[in-house]
């Protein structure tokens, strides 16, 4: 399965270091907002890969001590994840432009985010343009700018099937362990 937690932690660490901000958080959390400026992210979708679900089969040691081997099926695919990032600030429109452009650059410049995410077998497929996402909060405007990122990941699902222990032949049960 896709380890979303490890991927999110890696993105947070990389962005915090590159942007020099104190907070890169998951969006829509309860509680107080962090001090401005900060970056929030939200997973928008997981898009299954069209077509190619690669399947392999191999013998693995059995979990049951009575048997030597079980069968493991591995299903490998490359789904696309869409991550939405928004930079927040209270009033400084120049600062938010610069910060959002730097965040965008982190995902688009190969030697930055794409290289940083490579150990997790993540490929940055592309980013959308930066757009204004400002909102009015009571009597003040909260400056927001953001963009979405398309990431392709490797998803592996392993299924272990126990070996056959007994069969029924013409109504008679044959225990293979004793045969």
The 10s digit of each residue's pLDDT in 11-45 is 999 999 999 999 999 998 888 888 889 999 999 98
CA neighbor of 60 nearest in space, from 154, 156, 159, 177: 159
Q: Which pLDDT tens digit goes with each residue over 71-82?
A: 999 999 999 999
Residues in the chain: 179
Residue 144 · residue 134 · CB < 8 Å: yes
Q: What is the pTM of this model?
A: 0.79
């Amino acid at each position: 399965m896709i380890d979303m937690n490890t991927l999110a932690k890696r993105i947070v660490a990389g962005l915090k270091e590159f942007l020099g901000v104190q907070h890169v958080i998951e969006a829509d959390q309860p509680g107080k907002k962090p001090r401005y400026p900060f970056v929030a992210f939200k997973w928008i979708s997981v898009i299954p890969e069209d077509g190619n679900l690669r399947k392999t089969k191999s013998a693995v040691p059995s979990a049951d001590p009575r048997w030597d081997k079980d069968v493991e099926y591995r299903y490998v695919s490359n789904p696309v994840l869409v991550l939405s990032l928004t930079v927040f600030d209270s009033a400084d429109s120049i600062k938010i432009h610069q910060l959002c452009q730097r965040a965008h650059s982190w995902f688009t410049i190969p030697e930055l985010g794409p290289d940083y995410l490579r150990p997790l077998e993540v490929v940055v497929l592309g980013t959308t343009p930066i757009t204004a996402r400002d909102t009015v909060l009571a009597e003040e405007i909260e400056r927001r700018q953001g963009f979405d990122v398309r990431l392709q990941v490797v998803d592996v699902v392993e299924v272990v099937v126990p070996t056959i222990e007994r069969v029924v032949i013409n109504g008679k049960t044959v225990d293979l362990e004793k045969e």
